Structure 1
Amino acid sequence: MTLKHKGSIDELVYPFIYEASPLCDFEVLTDELAARLGGIAQYLEDSCADINVDIATLVELAFHLNGSIRGKQAIHERHISWLTQSYKHYQLELGDTVSSFVLPEGAAPVSELNLAKCNCKKVIRQMVALDAKGITVPRELVRFTNLLANWLFCVSMVINKRRGFPIRNFVSQSY
């Protein structure tokens, strides 16, 4: 049996929710990413006003990412350039304090930033699935989402550093 919407529009959360395509899953995941980013700002203190400004931009870009496969592509090279510059700015602030794998620890919003990073990984995996199904995925979307995941991790470490929270290295016993 194929589920379809019948009835009131009030009982339909999203027009494509019953679609069997992985495209709907991509859109749900990018919606989750935007929502998570939107909740982060409430946890940032005045010392992180610069990060707040960047996150406000990223909430909008996550929604642009959302519609960039089904609809008109809205993530472009200029967005990747902006995010690259922001990433490099925060990397400079970190310096060499992060030289290996570190544990994703810290008070809010650090945990939310790390979960948003995980959201990015899910979005990337969904783009891989879309590509495998023959659905065109613009390369800029993949580049942007990978860069965003790295930005989120970097910024989580910057917040920890600004707060004086210790960064703990992790050495895997598996690799």
Structure 2
Amino acid sequence: VNLRFYVRRKSADTWRRGVVFIRELVPRRAIALIARACYGENYLALPMKHQIDHVDSHLKVEFSWRRGGKWESLKMSGTGEPQTIPAGSHAEFITEHYWGYTSLRSGCGEYRVEHPRWKIWNATSFEFNADIAPLYGEQFADTLNQPPRSAFIADGSPVTVQRREIL
């Protein structure tokens, strides 16, 4: 579960579309430690659980994490079969980023992320239950307490993260 924003960087031959993570929640301390040490990412290890129910054409996904003795969650539902992401869509803008960027004391880190193009279900319901200010920062509370502009569930896949380079 993460909060991110999107960037682009002009390389020698093309524009690289990338993502910068503000905070990422993960279930294991080792993952958070490696992400912080090797990539300079702001990962936070918390007790987490998830539930994915896919019965017939109905999909229900829930990710939960415990902070301060309280469970918080992100829940979505969708129906039908996963669809190819339309070119030029908001979903394509969000999912099709193959570069990660992170702030380092010595500058900016850049790493390549590899995964196949995903398919999505448009969400028919969405719930985000969290105390946003302490989790992501007071500056994001008003925005994240609003209904989302879009909501979808991606089928996802394994992801390969290449070695970080310093720009």
> TM-score if structure 1 supplies the norm length?
0.21
User: Which structure shows the higher strand fraction?
Assistant: 2
TM-score (norm 2): 0.21
Larger radius of gyration, structure 1 or 2? 1
Q: Name the structure where helix makes up a greater proportion of residues.
A: 1
